[in-house]
Structure 1
Amino acid sequence: MSDDMLDDGGSKSQVVERTCRILREVAKRGHSGTRLLDLTNATGLSRPTVHRILQSLIAERFVQQKSSKRYHLGTALYEIGLSAPSPLGDLEPFRQIMQDLANRCGDTVYLAIRRGDQSFYLLRCEGAFPIRTHVVNAGQTLPLVGSHAGHAFLASMEPAEAEDVISRAEKTPDLFGAGNAEFLRDEIERIRSQGYGWAKDVTIKGVAGICATVPNAYGQPYLAVTISAISSRLEKDRVDALSRMLLETAEAISDQLHSR
């Protein structure tokens, strides 16, 4: 980037910071993209500054502008991402945190990572309760719209991005599992308001789950923790206590992740 981008008294280091801020805001909008006005409002930068940085990012293929005039992430970021290390690295420290939650609640717990419109399950840990929910194993994926972890991811997105995922999934209703789009939209609002989700019989009949994303100090959450059990095990009288355990676990994973 050239020195003429150093407006508003900015330094080269400020240009890097501003560029990263813009990229994060573009990423938040997902498939729906974002307007120049939205980026200006979200970043607090001047319109000319945002426009100049976007033009440089477009030239480097980090951002693309489609016929709708909205800005989207560019293909160069995908190419770079192929060489990027896993944000988790060794899973063993996270497994210990997850197993502690499973031991405390007695049920099955999962750690999932978002991959596009899918939840990829990294870890599955079992509690001592003899009736278990064999819904998904580590190494498997489920659609965001058809998994408890996915519901937590959707709730963490900008509303327009979440709606874009749901609307595209509506073309294939089976992706929602035992639920549907309208219930999912209501559930997302509940998750946003209370910080965690609780639902029964919406992914698979007879199965309930409590879900929450792992806080990410640097941007949108990309990990989620879920407690899964037969529906009769997750009635309201247990959910309040278990949700506190779940959120504590999510914070512990966040601390472990950001201490590296």
Structure 2
Amino acid sequence: MAEQEDKAGKSQVVERTCLILRELGRFGPGGARLIDLTERTKLSRPTVHRMLSTLVAEQFVERTRDRGYRLSSQIYELGLNAPSPVGDPARLRPIVQALADDCGDTVYLAMRTGDFSHYLLRCEGAYPIRTHVVSANQTLSLVSTHCGRSLLASLSEDESEQIISRAQTDKRLFGEAEPDGLRDEVEAIRKHGFGWARDVTFIGVAGLTVPVPNPRGSSFLAMSISTIPQRLTKERAEKILPSLRATALRISEAVSGQSGAS
């Protein structure tokens, strides 16, 4: 039977296949059950099963030990040849620097890479006391930083828990926090959309963080404002949070425009 197409010429089969792959990506390495994908995609069970069988045969999807499905390592290999979703981070510097100039503190932009957050930009404000605990181009565990906490909160509970559990082999990664305290922080960010904490990554460092919205799925970028605890009180955090959120939205729009143009 000929492949169905809509009036815009889009292939229904390809569209549904992409939908399934996106949903599998949201479930992470733990994978998803057939019923999970049926509920999330709103496709019929036979349709999802048939497409998954083909994706498994083509080695884009693999079965898990508990008879679920997850993306295969071949997807990772393809991704190595894909352009960065951010492009050249330098083009985002004026957006991040504008926030640093406005609040006077250090502003970071980080991107998730597996279990880690890679810091793309660090922009300085005019406040003379600075918290230089992370450098641009440095890569740290997601459990080690304020941006990492936002990125963990953007994942499903199962996937974030897997990352936290893997990190527990080295408690030093958690800084001044305990794993359960980190879990509470991540849950609070998931609930409220931002994180505010002091003396948890390093003594003498406070951070305010938000995930950068991703219209296509989970956030893979996060931003934070970092300064000394005495300067980032709860009241001040509430005051500068709207500016941080507005800047994250500008970053999202710039990155989405980049992806659409590429």
TM-score, normalization: structure 1?
0.93
Partner of 1:230: 228
Where does residue 40 of structure 2 map in the other structure?
Answer: 42
Give the conservation status (yes or no) of the 8 Å contact 1:5–1:53: no
Find the residue that maps to 2:70 and give its secondary structure.
Answer: strand
Gap regions ≥5 residues in structure 1: none
After the TM superposition, which residues 206-225 of structure 1 pair with which residues of structure 2 at under 5 Å, given as runs? 206-225=204-223
* Alignment-derived partner of residue 147 in structure 2: 149
- Conserved? CA contact 2:111–2:220, under 8 Å: yes
Q: What CA deviation, in whole Å up to 9, does each residue of 1:82-108 have, x standing for no partner?
A: 110111112233100000000001010
Q: Determine which of 96, 99, 112 is the counterpart of 2:97.
A: 99
How many angstroms does 1:59 deviate by? 1.6
1:138 to 136, 139, 159: 136
Q: Deviations over 1:158-181 (max 9, x none)?
A: 111111111222222112111111
Q: Residues 238 and 255 of structure 1: is their aligned pair in 2 closer, same or farther, counting only changes over 3 Å?
A: same
Q: What does residue 13 of structure 1 align with?
A: 11
CA distance in 2, matches of 1:85, 1:258: 13
With over 3 angstroms needed to count, the CA separation of the structure-2 counterparts of 1:203 and 1:5, relative to structure 1, is farther
Listed as ranges, the matches of 1:37-76 within 5 Å are 37-76=35-74
- The letter of the residue matching 1:174 is R
Structure 2 contact 118–138 (Cα < 8 Å) conserved? yes
Name the CA distance, whole Å, in 1 between partners of 2:2 and 2:170: 49
Select 1:121's aligned residue among 119, 136, 139: 119
Q: Give the C-alpha shift of residue 219 in structure 1.
A: 1.3
Q: Which moved more, 1:242-251 or 1:160-169?
A: 160-169
Q: Aligned residues, how many?
A: 254
What amino acid does structure 1 have at the position aligned with 2:116?
Answer: Q
**Deviation of the 1:4 alpha carbon:** 8.5
- Counterpart contact for 1:215–1:251, Cα < 8 Å: yes
Using the alignment, how far apart are the partners of 1:66 and 1:160 within structure 2? 15
Map of 1:158 onto structure 2: 156
In structure 2, C-alpha distance between the alignment counterparts of 1:5 and 1:50, rounded to whole Å? 16
How far residue 147 of structure 1 moved from its aligned partner, in angstroms, is 0.9
With 164-173 and 223-232 compared, the bigger mean Cα shift is at 164-173
Cα distance between partner residues in 2 of 1:65 and 1:207: 44
- C-alpha separation in 2, matches of 1:71 and 1:4: 28
CA distance in 2, matches of 1:4, 1:200: 60
CA contact (8 A) 1:146 1:176 kept: yes
The aligned residue for residue 29 of structure 2 is 31
Two-structure CA RMSD over aligned residues (Å): 1.6
Tell me the CA shift for residue 12 of structure 1. Answer: 6.8
Question: Are 2:3 and 2:11, in contact at CA under 8 Å, matched by a contact in 1?
Answer: no
Q: Provide TM-score, normalisation by structure 2.
A: 0.93
Return 5+ residue gaps in structure 2 as ranges: none
Q: Residue 124 of structure 1 aligns to which amino acid in structure 2?
A: R
- CA distance in structure 1 between the aligned counterparts of 2:147 and 2:154, rounded to whole angstroms: 11
| Matching residue within 244, 248, 253 for 1:246 | 244
Moved more, 33-42 or 114-123: 33-42
Partner SS state of residue 232, structure 1: coil
d(CA) in 2 for partners of 1:117, 1:32: 14
Contact 1:156–1:220 under 8 Å retained in 2 = yes
C-alpha contact 2:116 2:141 (8 A) present in aligned 1: yes
What is the alpha-carbon distance in structure 2 between the residues aligned to residue 58 and residue 76 of structure 1? 11
**2:171 counterpart (167, 170, 173):** 173
Residue 5 of structure 1 contacts residue 52 of structure 1 at CA under 8 Å; is this kept in 2? no
**Is contact 2:118-2:137 (8 Å) kept?**
yes
Deviations 1:149-204 (CA, angstroms, capped at 9, x unpaired):
11001111111111111122222211211111111111112112221111111111
Cα deviation code 1:102-156 (max 9, x no counterpart) = 0001010111000000000000000000110111101101111111111001111
- The equivalent of 2:81 in structure 1 is 83
